Structure 1
Amino acid sequence: MVTPSLTRAQRAEATRRAVALRRERASLLQNLGQGRENLQEVLERKDEVVGRIRVQTLLKALPGIGPIRSLRLMRQAGISERRRVTGLGPRQKERLLSLLSSSDRGTTHAQGSVRISV
């Protein structure tokens, strides 16, 4: 596949836009981990900031969820390890939220309307 030739100004604009999106994603993940964002609301968003995040990365941003637990939750919800948020179906989202809210076995942290067990 041949990439289209871009002018210097077009390349600079594309770079600025990509950097801005990366910063927004990083901020979103940080806010999610600090409880300022709600997982359910994040999953409902349709913008490219959220859509391009891998589900595992999103889960690992939550307090008390690391790489192993995120993969286990994804397998239980029937979600591929490489899936991005934009590729999740409504049932997968519901199942994931249900798994997170039903895992109350220990100390729980309020995460908006979703409760997460540590």
Structure 2
Amino acid sequence: MALKELTPQERYDALEKAAKARATRAAAKERLKRGEVSIAELISSGTSDEAIARMRVIELLEALPGIGPVRAAAIMADIGIAGSRRIRGLGIHQARALVDFMYTQQSD
């Protein structure tokens, strides 16, 4: 099925919207990295911010200091979160387990 042809203005608007969403996600990851916001706050902001809601959970974890791709994948596997899951797609129990897991790791 072919996609609808966009007018130049529609294409420009879509590209601008995508750029704003990427900038929002990058800023959120930077704030998380600096400790200005917690994972719980970022996950809860996903209910009202579309750009945050579409961020992959693996990207969220990798933004934390000391967590790379391998450790992030291991954390998600331990909790039972699929690698393709986005913040919006987290269930209540998955979100709580992720926050609890990260809280216990920080207190160790």
Tell me the TM-score normalized by structure 2: 0.90
Which runs of 4 or more aligned residues in structure 1 lie more than 4 Å from their structure 2 counterparts after TM superposition? none
Write 1 or 2 for the structure with the bigger share of helix: 2
Shift of 1:116: 6.2
1:21 aligns with 2:11: no
Tell me which protein shows more strand as a share of its residues: 1
Gap runs ≥5 in structure 1: 104-114
Identity of matched residues, % = 35
Contact 2:56 2:86 in 1 (8 A): yes
Q: Can you give the 5+ residue segments of structure 2 that lack an aligned partner in the other structure?
A: none
Q: What are the equivalent positions in structure 2 for 1:72-111 lying under 5 Å apart?
A: 72-103=74-105
1:9-38 CA-to-partner distances (Å, cap 9, x unmatched) read: 111111111111111111111111011122
Q: CA RMSD in A?
A: 1.4
TM-score (norm 1): 0.83
Number of corresponding residues? 106
Summarize the alignment of residues 1-118 of structure 1 with structure 2, pairs less than 5 Å apart. Answer: 1-45=1-45, 46=47, 47-103=49-105, 115=106
Q: Are the structure 2 counterparts of residues 94 and 67 from structure 1 closer, same or farther at C-alpha, using a change threshold of 3 Å?
A: same
